Amino acid sequence: MDDATSEVYYAQLVEEEGTRTLRPAVREVIENQGIFCALYSDRASHFFVTPKAGGKVDENQVTQLGRALRELGIKMIPAYSPQARGRMERSYRTWQGRLPEELRTREMATPEQANRFLREQYLAEFNRRFMVKAKEQGSAFVRTRRKDLEWVFSIQHERTVNQDHTIALDNRILQIEKTRWRNTLAGCKVTVYEHLNGSLVVRFGPHEVARFQADALPARQAKRRGSPQPLGHKRAVAA
């Protein structure tokens, strides 16, 4: 929601708010409107790392979303009081009062139907009714010419390559093929990029050393209680 006009730029129904549902939302706003100055939000774990519940955020650690916004030069501002979120809460109440009735009247019973309605009809009508005029002319959005938003908004994991040229991620063992330009990658740090479409790309520096499509990922291995994590398995700072 725009701070100056209360215009809502994106709205979709999801099962759970988190890193994987916020990435496409923020990316779509940037692609359609441009890069904005700051994102003001609550302190949920997908926005900020908060070591102590109810305490201040740790500005030295960033979530996956925080890293993406930092790359784009967007500042993240945490809300510390209920009053700070008052406008958003009032907007929620309006949505909760109106949207269910709209969906019921149109006999929409699936999330897919509802989300299509949100995109194609409801959002424009909602903004027409509730937007206000900005006090100053012009726009704070800056159009972006970046072509790498797919990479910026990927979930990134750092891993160490095992001696057998494998890495472990999300209970999967990913095989990395040997390269012509280096005898072995064993012991090297690589970055795994999880894209919005579910595919995985493994990079060593600027080199792509493996790619896995979403429908061709290796099967997850069953967890064995008390078994050590494979070499290179490292918990990512992400929601």
- 228 has a pLDDT exceeding 60: no
Angle of the 123-130 helix axis to the 86-105 helix axis, nearest 10: 130
* Contact indicator for 227, 199 with CB cutoff of 8 Å: no
- 226 has a pLDDT exceeding 70: no
Question: What pairing do the DSSP bridges indicate for beta strands 75-78 and 38-41?
Answer: parallel
Taken as a whole, the chain contains a residue count of 239
- 193 has a pLDDT exceeding 70: yes
Averaged pLDDT, 55-63: 92
Q: Is the dihedral of CA 66, 175, 221, 216 positive or negative?
A: positive
The residues, ordered by sequence, that sit 6+ positions from 91 with a Cβ below 8 Å of its Cβ are 1, 6, 8, 130
Secondary element (H or E) of residue 41: strand 38-41
- 225 has a pLDDT exceeding 70: no
What is the C-alpha to C-alpha distance for residues 213 and 200, in angstroms, rounded to an integer? Answer: 7
* Contact indicator for 182, 192 with CB cutoff of 8 Å: no
* Contact indicator for 221, 173 with CB cutoff of 8 Å: yes
Span 23-44, pLDDT tens digits: 999 999 999 999 999 999 989 9
Averaged pLDDT, 170-186: 92
Question: What pairing do the DSSP bridges indicate for beta strands 155-160 and 189-194?
Answer: antiparallel
SS3 159: strand
Span 67-123, pLDDT tens digits: 999 999 999 999 887 766 777 788 888 899 999 999 999 999 999 999 999 999 999
SS3 88: helix
Span 116-155, pLDDT tens digits: 999 999 999 999 999 999 998 889 999 999 999 999 999 9
Query: Looking at residue 92, what is its pLDDT?
Result: 84
Percent of the chain with pLDDT over 70: 92
Phi, psi of 15 (to 5 degrees): -70, -35
Question: What pairing do the DSSP bridges indicate for beta strands 172-175 and 166-169?
Answer: antiparallel
What is the pLDDT of the chain when averaged over all its residues? 89
